[in-house]
Amino acid sequence: MATLIFMISMIFYTTYFTSLTNYYFLILWFLISLPLSFLTMLLFYFLNFPLVVLLPSKHPYKSYMMRSLAYFLNHFILNLKVTIEGIENLPKDGPLVIYANHKSYTDAFAILEVLPRAITLTPKKSVMKMPFISWWLKAYDVFPINRSNPRETAIELDKAVETVKNGHAILVFPEGNIGNRLDPKVKTMKPGAFKLALKAAANILVVRYDGNDLLRKRAPFKRSRRKLTLMKLIHFDEIKDFTTHQIAELVMSRINHRQA
């Protein structure tokens, strides 16, 4: 949707401005149409905001809008090509928490584009202070993380548990921060990140990110590639008696050793 609106707007603006002058200015009008088309696409999303608020967090239309926006950002802004392996390991429904290694600020966009299921996120609390973006994210029942205030995070955890129980998958980066961008292996994980799966009695999907992670040095002129590997599902019955430390070790081992 986002890509279609952008392309139609770009053709319209370029054609309209050219018709007012002549074809000698075609390239100029094309360049001017790019930011105008981007703003038009953002306006469309803004106008959809009341509908986004009213619909349930995992409604197919809301998921489609988020996936469409991620596709646009990946292909037109970041010049990022995402491939996926092990998609058969993704359950279509049921309580699910997705744990992945954290390689880049674009990791969420990569997974939102390729996973055909309603997914919500775990943004930093600072992101939730940004106007409109915070309102949009709240409509998707995100799980904000406040590393400086564990008590506040604990309150948000109870809400996240209900979100997962209702069948809305949550993407979590248990490292807490972005790791070594050039090394896909995980050194440490925060055990507290796995309380969510235990309290929600949720299955766990482990995802490993591989590929070029220095996007800010390449985008938008050089193509970057990222591969997502979805490991075999860890059913709740397998880890219901585990401690959070044991689950952290299990997830870290799967990511580091590609245990699909």
- Amino acid of residue 255: I
Q: Which of the listed residues 23, 45, 77 is the one where a domain comes to its end?
A: 77
Summarised one tens digit per residue, pLDDT across range 93-131 is: 899 999 998 888 888 889 999 998 889 988 887 788 888
Total domains present in the chain: 2
Contacts of residue 41, defined as CB under 8 A and 6 or more positions apart, other chains included, come to 2, 5, 6, 9, 72
Q: What is the pLDDT of residue 156?
A: 79
- Residue 213: band (very low, low, confident or very high) from pLDDT cuts 50, 70, 90: low
The answer on pLDDT for 151 being more than 60 is yes
- Residue 184: band (very low, low, confident or very high) from pLDDT cuts 50, 70, 90: low
CA dihedral 192, 88, 102, 118 (to 10 degrees): -70
Which residue range is the domain that position 36 belongs to? 1-77
Please indicate, yes or no, whether residues 32 and 110 belong to a single structural domain of this protein: no
User: Rounded to the nearest 5 degrees, what angle is found at the Cα of 45, between the Cα atoms of 87 and 164?
Assistant: 45
The answer on pLDDT for 84 being more than 90 is yes
Contacts of residue 160, defined as CB under 8 A and 6 or more positions apart, other chains included, come to 141, 143, 170, 196, 200
Please indicate, yes or no, whether residues 108 and 237 belong to a single structural domain of this protein: yes
Summarised one tens digit per residue, pLDDT across range 25-69 is: 888 888 999 999 999 999 999 999 899 889 988 889 999 999 999
